[in-house]
A and B are shown apart, each in its own frame.
Chain A
Amino acid sequence: MTKVTLTVNGRAVSGDCDDRTLLVHFIREKLGLTGTHVGCDTTQCGACVVHLDGKSVKSCSILAVQAAGSSVTTIEGLAPQGQLHPVQAAFNEHHGLQCGFCTPGMVMTAVDLIGRSGGDLDEDKVRHGLEGNICRCTGYHNIVKAVLSANEQMHGEVRQAAE
């Protein structure tokens, strides 16, 4: 057993685990943060996406020990005060989900994508940016709408402020 210490959603946490323990299992089972899902378990579906030091990663394909000393943000960390993050609100408004299983990974991916884009997103770029996330319900259409809407809201405000 190895003691793994890292920062999750701004809080320092630690737990004992085998070196072979995947980050997603550490998050779900040691920390009880079950918003991060395991879908395919083969790096395909993106239900397990979290941010590792500010970058989206698939937590089913990273060992917890690899993340030691790093800062992790999970879906639970997006709305610490209970008020929805703009991306979550956009998924709600545009009905960007049906069963909801892929949604935590979709939202974490969208937050990363919008953050990196500097506001320069269109439908093609959003669909390309969501390639690592699979949804079996929606056909993606409303997810793309939600991401574009959130992007407009988050970067539109910045643009208005700059003007």
Chain B
Amino acid sequence: MYDTSYHRASSVDEAVNLRSSHDEGRYLSGGMTLIATMKQRLAAPSDLIDLRHIPALKGISVEGRRVRIGAATSHAEVAASSALRAVCPAISDLASMIGDPHVRHMGTIGGSVANDDPAADYPAAVLGLGATVITDRREIAADDFFTGMFETALDEGEMITAIAFDAPDKAGYAKFRNPASRYAITGVFVAKTGSGVRVAVTGAGSNGVFRHAGMEAALSTSWVPESVASVSVDASALMSDLHATAEYRANLVRVMAKRAVASAG
């Protein structure tokens, strides 16, 4: 790891000020991606601004159907929250499938969403739920947030402070995971709300997480797993790598969508 300077922020304002005074600095949340990347010398931030000690970024609130998850809330906390599980078990289940127990104790929802790894789980939930990404300066709709592989609408120095959404009537997530890394080779999040059905796919798209209009239309007509079985998935926009070809992933999108709908009930 290249040399770096560590700063611990105690408030959002302090963190943003620290970040703005260090051009080559990075926010550090759980660090489950960033520290590993720095160890490989694939990232070399001059300064790290630790967000884990900012009270305003922590915790889960559920008021009626409105959910707000602080950006520095760990995957383990999302998985274990009974209040959240009561209104949206799909996101708790998703969090319980990320990495391993030790990674879930450190990794945070804000860090995962800001990093926007094309095989990460949370982007599928945020897009599938039509959530709002709240930052230190504005609110961004999920549909506008994810702009490509590791690319988001966040400006330089902008920090995610929370993820908010209305709990859906039904939701489910299923993933075909890489057994070594436990990232999604393909993961599908489905959600049914009063305003329609959303289907978000992670791990498969060559441009990161995306919605599938054909599946949304099919599930809007009939919310049963069989609805998505005959929907065509265009393999030309999907990734091929040593784990799976684009054609294999196209089939996985259908299979995971079926399982996700089945798990949603």
Task: Please list the residues of chain A having a beta carbon within 8 angstroms of any beta carbon in chain B.
Answer: 2, 18-20, 22, 41-44, 46, 49, 52, 55-58, 61-63, 65-66, 68, 109, 112-113, 129, 131-133
Contacts and interface: CB of A to CB of B under 8 A. Distances in A.
Contact of A61 (B5, B31, B48, B52): B31
A131 B76 contact: no
B35 A61 contact: yes
Determine which residue in A2, A18, A65, A66 has the highest number of CB atoms from chain B within 10 A of its CB, and name it: A66
B103 A66 contact: no
Given A41-B39, A61-B35, A61-B106, A109 B101 contact: yes
Interface in B25-57: 28, 31-32, 35-36, 38-39, 48, 50, 52
A58 B103 contact: yes
Query: Which applies to chain A's interface (DSSP): helix, strand, loop or mixed?
Result: mixed
Given A19-B3, A129-B101, A131-B100, 19 more contacts: A18-B3, A19-B6, A20-B3, A22-B39, A41-B39, A44-B180, A46-B100, A46-B102, A55-B105, A62-B35, A62-B106, A66-B6, A68-B8, A109-B101, A109-B102, A113-B101, A131-B182, A132-B99, A132-B103
Nearest to B179: A131
A42 B36 contact: yes
Contacts of A61: 31-32, 35-36, 39, 106
B86 interface: no
Contacts of B5: 19
A17 B130 CA distance: 44
B1 A56 contact: no
